[in-house]
Structures are given as structure tokens and as C-alpha cells.
Structure 1
Amino acid sequence: MVEKVITLDNVSLIDFLGVENNNIKQIAAAFPMSKIISRGNEIRIKGTTPEISRISDILESLLQHYQTYGKLTHEHVKTYLNGNPEANRLAADVSDEDVLVYGTKGIVVRARTANQKKLVEAAEKADLVFAIGPAGTGKTYTAVAIAVRALKNKEVRKIIITRPAVEAGENLGFLPGDLKEKIDPYLRPIYDALDDMIPAEKLKLYLENRTIEIAPLAYMRGRTLNNAFILLDEAQNTTPMQMKMFLTRMGPNSKAIITGDRSQIDLPNKQKSGLIESVNVLKNIKGISFVELDGRDVVRHRLVKDIIKAYEDAGQ
């Protein structure tokens, strides 16, 4: 008998191996003449050379399936063991072309409204896109999904996501911790979106090696961002100078999406918003797209649409 060790890198072990290693046990049951043991992030296979080769091929196919679709079920394993992976390509009720990302724990991320689809189409055609609309319309979530898709498809080498750290009626100085701990709450929606789309171990690696970078807008000054997908979120809280600084960071082979909400400007002393100014200044430049989202695109609780409309009717 010979032995082979397969190391599982950047994989959520419980999602890939299954609860109580049931996915691996299922494979082991199909090859009773071999011994398959899972310990930590290693799978050890002992058996004859032909069987080890067959088991390795199945595990490699399962890894590719998991990396593509973000999940691995008993039925998926059964299908690959039967040698017919095409029969079980998706466990979702949408077509491949609608899907932006197959996320973690079976989440299928796609544009869900007409204007979200316009945002996806705009990002495919233009290198710079403005997505403007009220809270709950999926601006940030859709933009993050577009960027993650580009990274997975190797269209870019990194993702850079930034926000202006503007205090919305709160004071950063009174928050506990160092600068990172003070700022991280402002970036939490970004982390939440990424958690839905990238397995935890892989996301941790991406953040550690700066394949994905999340930082306050001030940290962008002086940089040239090449081969990157850049997202500026909450852009209504940029000053005109900050917006100009951000827009001039784009380097070769880069794309950018800027999201913002005209109704939630938190700048002090009624300072002019860089988002509003940039829309007026750049509206006639070829290669820049503008997508407007509205109450029809709200994908949060049903009451959010009514709340937004009530504030609009009240002129606020």
C-alpha cells in the first residue's frame, strides 16, 4: 500500500468535510479497500496506486466545486463519486448568468432588482461607475459582489474598499481602543458582505496578504492603485477634495465603483458633498456610468420602503 497526503488550504473545513466529516466518510465508504483519514486540514489516503489516483481526482473535483459554488453537500459528493459532475452543477434556482458570486453556506449572490442589474451591466462596460440611492437598495452589497467576482475570475489582482470615517452624530474620540478599533465599526458593513461571499479562512488570508484591503479614505492619499477593483462607499460623506483625490488614484487595469446616498450626508457645517459635486462635474465624460437606485430596489424589511417614501414626502 502507498500513502498520499492532501492539504486543504483556504477552505472552511466544516463546510468541505461536512458535519462530523460525513463528506469524507461518504468517500471512504465508496472505496472500502482504501483508508481515508481526515486530521485538521490534511486528508491521508492509503491504498493501491490506482485507487489513490481515483480518490485524489474526486477530491480535486470536489475542491473545485467548493471554490466555485461555496458549498458541498451529500448530493454533490454522491454525484462526483458517480462520475457525473455536470448533472449537479448548481443547487440554486437561478441561471449561471444571473449569479455574481456563489457565497458561503450556500448563499447565491445576484442582482435582485432592475437597477441592481443596471449596476452590474454598467460595471461590465465602464471603468468608473457611480451607484447612488437610499439606504437598503443593495448598492454596497452588489458592488462588493461585483468586485469579488472580478477577483475570482482573475480580472484584477486585488480589491480595495474604502470609506470616509465621518462621525454621524457620534464622536470617535470617545470610542475605546486604538485607531483601527475606532474605525472598524464604520467598515463593518463591508466585512459583513465579504463574510457572505468568501469562506472565512480564505478571507482571512486575503486580508493578511492584502489581496483585499479595507481602509479609511485618508489612507488612499498618495497611492496609485493598479490592477485593482476599488470601491468607495458612503461617498456622500467625502469632501470635494477627498473625492478628487480618490478619483485620481486609479491606475492601469483598474475599475472603481462609487456608492452613496444623497439623503444621508453627515459632513459638518453643511460642507458641500464631494459626491454631489463630482456627479455634476463628470456627467459628460465618456467611460463613466451613473446608476440611480430608488425605493423599488430596497431589499431590506418591507417597512424600509415605506419609511424612505415617508421621509421623501416630508422633504427630508
Structure 2
Amino acid sequence: MMERLYVLEEADIQEFVGVNHANLVTLANLFPKTKLRIHQNVIKVLGEPQAAEDLLQILAQLEAVCTRYNQLTESQIIEVVQAYRSPKASPKTPAETSDVLIYGVHGKAIQPRGENQRRMVREFTSKDLCFATGPAGSGKTFVAICLAVKALKAKQVRRIILSRPAVEAGEKLGFLPGEMKDKLDPYLQPLYDALGELIPAPKLKDFIDTGVIQIAPLAFMRGRTLNDAVIILDEAQNTTPQQMKMFLTRLGANSKMIITGDFTQIDLPRGIRSGLSDALDKLHSLSSISFIHFDRCDIVRHPLVSEIVEVYDRKETNESKDS
């Protein structure tokens, strides 16, 4: 009897093995001359030499499926095994179109919605710096994070760096208890929420613990050179011109940067110009930078959000005319 080891490196372990190790049970039934044991991310294969070798090949293919679709089902396992045993057959994959950007948690297909989101996806491949501005709910930050996660999975970059200015939204929170992470997490929670839609929780924790995904306030960016990364600055309307210049000059080799913001939600003290507005004015003539402007028709949250934004915009326009 041969003993071989297979190390899960990319796929989420819980998704791969299934509830109560159901996926390993399915594999054991399909390969009755082998036995499977798992400890942490290492799968031990015991069995006759040829059966063990075949199962190792199957495990590699299944990990690729699980990594791509963020799920592994019994039907997918059976299809991969059948295709391996009958090379003329090809395993079926979940129905998808060329418009699918990435698969989220539990295999949810995520597609860009609207022309500006599709343009953002297209220009990410050709431009190293993208400014995406527009109203709340237009999907700017979510699409940016999807692009970053997709690049990480494809090994085009080694890490993702997400940042936000730690500016209170119109209220004074006062002293926040706890360590530095506890104080900063409330400002960064929207980024955690978006990542949680795309990466299973255990894998996301591992990425954060090992620094593959870094989430930090803007102030922590000074002095860094960010190579081999997708770098996202969210809520950029709340930066100062000095902060924006500092952030833009962090861009390193083999890196891409996406900057998102909404000019209607500036929380800076009165009299301080937004660094996002300043950057757009100074850089608008550079053809090597992508500038994408979303509007109310791009809002993809609850339909009521679009109506709310329209009412607020109309009210603010009238007030500015009266003043």
C-alpha cells in the first residue's frame, strides 16, 4: 500500500472537504481501493500505487475547481472523475458567460452591471491607475475589490492592499477603546464586507493574518513602496491634496491602483479641498490613466437608493443657486 500526501494551497479547506467531510466520502466511494485522511490542509492518500496516483491527479483538478468557483459539490467531483477516466469527455462547469468577473462565496457568479462597470473591468487590464468616481451604490468599490481578488487568484499579483482615510462621517465618535486594530476597524468595515462576499471566511482570515491582504488607514501608507499588488483607495474624496499625492506615489513595480470616491460625501473640515478633486484637475490630461465617472443611472443597490440620491442632489443644487 502506497502513502502519498496532497497539500491544499489555494482552495478554502472547509469548502473543499464539505460538510462533515462529505466530499472526501464521495471521493472514497469513487476510489474504493484508497483511503483518505485529512489534517489541517494536508490530505493523506493511502492505497494501491496506481489508484493513489490517480487520486492525487484528481485532487489537483478539484482544487482548481474549488478555487475558481468558491465551492465544490458532489456533482462537480463526479464530473471531474468521469472526465479523468474518460479523457474524451470534459467536465461540466457551472453555466457562465464571458461577462462573469469572478465567483463569490458558495459559487455565486458576479458580473459587472452597467457600461461603466464593464469599462472599469476592461481598462483594468490596460491601465495601471484608475479613478472611479460617482454616487453611493454604483458599485465602484465592489468592482475594484473583485478585480483585485481576481488578479490575486490568477497570481498576477502577490497581495492586495486596501486603504481608506479615517475620517468620521459627520459625527464625533470620541475615544474608541481597544488596541490600534480595534480603533481602526470601524472605518475599514466596508472593505471587510466586500471581501467577505468573495472569499470564504477562513481563507480570508488566513490571507489577512499572512499579509496577502492588507487593510490599513491611509496614514499608514507613508514611506511604503507597493510592488506586485493591487492597491485600492476607497472614500478618496476625504483625502487632502497632500495625502493624495503621498498615496499616488506609493505605486510600485507590477502594481495597479484603483481610487474611488463620491464628491457628494465629503467629510473634510470646511475650507480644506478634497485631494480627489485636486488630483482629477491635475491629472486629467494623462492618457495613461483611466477616469470613469458613474452617475445615478449606475446605482445597483436597492431601487430606492437611486431616488434618494436624486432628491438630495436636486435639493443641494437648488440651495447652491439660492446662496
Pairing 1:169-180 to 2, within 5 Å after superposition: 169-180=170-181
In the other structure, the counterpart of 2:320 is none
Structure 1 position 212, deviation (Å): 1.6
Cα shift readout 1:189-226 (whole Å, capped 9, x = no counterpart)? 11111122223333223222222211110111122222
Hey, what does 1:188 align to over in structure 2? Answer: 189
1:177-199 deviations in Å (ceiling 9; x for gaps):
22221111111111111122223
| Alpha carbons 1:11, 1:199 under 8 Å: kept | no
**Could you say what secondary structure the match of 1:3 adopts?**
strand
Match of 2:142 in 1: 141
1:169–1:315 distance in 2 versus 1, CA, 3 Å? closer
Structure 2 unaligned segments of length 5 or more: list them: 318-323
Match of 1:111, as an amino acid? P
The answer to whether structure 1 residue 104 and structure 2 residue 105 are counterparts is: yes
The answer to whether the Cα contact below 8 Å between 1:227 and 1:251 also exists between their aligned partners in 2 is yes
- Counterpart residue number, 2:163: 162
Partner amino acid, structure 1, of 2:90: E
Describe how 1:108-127 pairs up with structure 2 within 5 A: 108-127=109-128
State whether residues 148 and 160 of structure 2, in contact with CA within 8 Å, keep that contact through their aligned partners in structure 1: yes
Asked if structure 2 preserves the Cα contact closer than 8 Å seen for 1:100 and 1:109, the reply is: yes
Q: Give the CA deviation at 1:114.
A: 1.3
Q: How does 1:75-114 map to 2 (within 5 A)?
A: 75-83=75-83, 86-89=90-93, 91-92=94-95, 94-95=96-97, 97-114=98-115
Distance 1:253-1:13 versus aligned 2 partners, 3 A rule: closer
Match of 1:293 in 2: 294
The two structures have a TM-score, normalised by structure 2, of 0.90
SS in 2 for 1:171: coil
Contact kept in structure 2, 1:156 and 1:254, CA below 8 Å: yes
Q: State the identity %.
A: 47
**Uncovered stretches (5+) of structure 1, i.e. residues with no partner:** none
Aligned to 1:226: 227
- How big is the shift at 1:131? 0.2
Residues 1:15 and 2:15 are matched in the alignment: yes
SS in 2 for 1:20: helix
- Asked if the contact 2:10/2:67 (under 8 Å) is kept, the reply is no
CA-atom RMSD in angstroms: 1.9
Counterpart residue number, 1:244: 245
Query: What is the match of residue 213 of structure 1?
Result: 214
Say whether 1:202 aligns with 2:206. no
- Output aligned runs, 1:34-49, within 5 Å: 34-49=34-49
- In the alignment, is the contact (CA less than 8 A) between 1:100 and 1:111 conserved in 2? yes
Kept in 1, the 8 Å contact 2:12–2:67? The answer is no
Aligned residue pair count: 313
User: Contact (CA 8 Å) 1:116, 1:139: kept in 2 or not?
Assistant: yes
Q: Displacement, 1:172? A: 4.3
